Amino acid sequence: MQDLAPSTGRGLDALEQRVRTELELLKYPELPWVPPRQVDGKAVLDVLIVGAGQGGLAVASMLLQERVDNILVIDAAPRGREGPWRTYARMKTLRSWKTVTGPDLGFPSLTFQAWFEAQHGTAAFEALGKIAKEDWNDYLLWLRDTLALPVENGTRLQGIEPAGELLAATLEDGRGQRVVLARKLVLAMGIERSGQWWMPPAVASLPPHLRAHTGDAIDFASLAGRRVAVLGAGASAFDNAAAAPNCSGCSPTRQFPIPASCAIFASSTTPRAGASCTIYCRFAKPCRRRPGTVAPAIETFTCTPAARGTN
Ligand SMILES: Cc1cc2nc3c(=O)[nH]c(=O)nc-3n(C[C@H](O)[C@H](O)[C@H](O)COP(=O)(O)OP(=O)(O)OC[C@H]3O[C@@H](n4cnc5c(N)ncnc54)[C@H](O)[C@@H]3O)c2cc1C
């Protein structure tokens, strides 16, 4: 990771001015055009967007650009904790290239590169390997503020019901529940709501201090010196295996740590009933199969010696 000189803020001020000018030049249609609507004296939203991650923010930006202004974006998380970047993503950088685009909607001055260079200069961007996940999170917050997106944090969608030709959404915040009416609803709730965080019953039934899901807040420092089984073979499994302190310090001769004293389950999908699960490890040596030691429901233990092995 690069050591960057702190930004003076002047570059960012100039960039924000450039964004305003570009938006002004592309201001067509000029006025909001959707007729406002009320039901029993209550204003109806044109669009309610649930989720202020990059997906929800991009939808909101596009709607405002098209002058559909009567919108609201809600997110259950507090400001700055939307999505995985400062929560359950453990890696230091994004996996995408640093030139990734998307939330900018095609405006060069709204790209990550423009935001980064405005603060640190072009040479720093050239030297950058990949985008630090915290920088990506800050960039998304900057987009949201610069475009004045109407986001309400700490508000969770609890239910949706039809209300004639409208939709009634029940929202809950720290003060209680309220129902809002909307013409359209966009669900941009990310990985978290595309299913549910799931663990095999045998793992879920372990005492909470002995197991975690990758979606949980995990105190990795407390795992130091313990044997940790990472169950799963996808990106989150490697992400968490790399973050577990004892894994990074393992000796090359050590075998896959089974029996383990705790388990991290790394899958957001529910396996087919009766399917066998495979545990991959990062170690150079082959491991022994010891069924039934950690999670009796897991039938197959397979080690891939070459898989991201650093030892
Ligand atoms: C470790 C890791 C690394 C990744 N690396 C990359 C990468 O390099 N490049 C890439 O493109 N993608 C990466 N991803 C994928 C990343 O999750 C998505 O690209 C991105 O977060 C998707 O944005 P989103 O807006 O769809 O969802 P999210 O960013 O997940 O946002 C969804 C939001 O919805 C909110 N929400 C959920 N339910 C409710 C509710 N009921 N009420 C109100 N709010 C709710 C959540 O609080 C959350 O803030 C990575 C993911 C992980 C876990």
The Cα 241–Cα 105 span in angstroms is 35
Nearest alpha-carbon partner for 120 in 286, 9, 240: 9
pLDDT at 300: 35
Residue 263 lies in a domain: yes
Nearest alpha-carbon partner for 125 in 140, 133, 113, 143: 113
Q: Mean pLDDT, to the nearest integer, of 93-106?
A: 93
Q: Which residues line ligand 1 (CB under 6 A)?
A: 50-56, 74-77, 82-84, 89, 91, 94-96, 156-157, 188-193, 236, 239
Number of domains in the chain: 2
Q: What is the pLDDT of residues 160-170, one digit of tens each?
A: 999 999 999 99
Name the pLDDT band for 263 (thresholds 50, 70, 90): low
The Cα 265–Cα 261 span in angstroms is 13
Domain boundary among 158, 175, 193: 193
Q: Are residues 137 and 210 in the same domain?
A: no
Q: Are residues 95 and 124 in the same domain?
A: yes
Residue 50 lies in a domain: yes
Q: Are residues 212 and 293 in the same domain?
A: yes
Contact 302, 281 (CB under 8 A): no
CA 37 to chain centre: 34
Q: Are residues 161 and 271 in the same domain?
A: no
pLDDT at 285: 33
Contact 303, 280 (CB under 8 A): yes
Name the pLDDT band for 97 (thresholds 50, 70, 90): very high
CA of 60 to the centre of ligand 1 (A): 16
The Cα 16–Cα 14 span in angstroms is 5
Domain boundary among 140, 163, 193: 193
Q: Are residues 283 and 152 in the same domain?
A: no
165 by Cβ neighbours in 10 Å (0-12 / 13-18 / 19+) ranks as exposed
Q: Are residues 39 and 121 in the same domain?
A: yes
Residue 309 lies in a domain: no
Closest ligand 1 atom, CA of 77?
Answer: 47
pLDDT at 224: 76
Domain boundary among 144, 167, 193: 193
Nearest alpha-carbon partner for 183 in 167, 159, 206: 167
Domain of residue 138, residue span: 10-193
Contact 194, 268 (CB under 8 A): yes
Q: What's the pTM?
A: 0.81
Token pair for residue 255?
């075998």
CA of 228 to the centre of ligand 1 (A): 26
CA of 49 to the centre of ligand 1 (A): 14
Closest ligand 1 atom, CA of 91?
Answer: 1
Q: Whose CA is nearest to atom 29 of ligand 1?
A: 83
pLDDT at 266: 56
Closest ligand 1 atom, CA of 74?
Answer: 43
Q: Are residues 173 and 217 in the same domain?
A: no
Angle at 89 between CA 105 and CA 189, to 5 degrees: 55
Calculated CA dihedral for residues 211, 212, 217, 219, nearest 10 degrees: 40
The Cα 88–Cα 179 span in angstroms is 30
Q: Are residues 119 and 241 in the same domain?
A: no
CATH of the domain at 132: 3.50.50.60
Residue 172 lies in a domain: yes
Q: What is the pLDDT of residues 174-221, one digit of tens each?
A: 999 999 999 999 999 998 777 778 888 888 888 888 888 888 888 888
Contact 14, 118 (CB under 8 A): yes
CA of 190 to the centre of ligand 1 (A): 4
Residue 252 lies in a domain: yes
Flag whether pLDDT at 146 surpasses 90: yes
Residue 52 lies in a domain: yes
CA of 53 to the centre of ligand 1 (A): 6
CA 239 to chain centre: 13
Residues 6 or more apart whose Cβ sits within 8 Å of residue 81: 87
Residue 163 lies in a domain: yes
Q: What is the pLDDT of residues 113-137, one digit of tens each?
A: 999 999 999 999 999 999 999 999 9
Q: Mean pLDDT, to the nearest integer, of 19-26?
A: 93
Token pair for residue 128?
């950058």
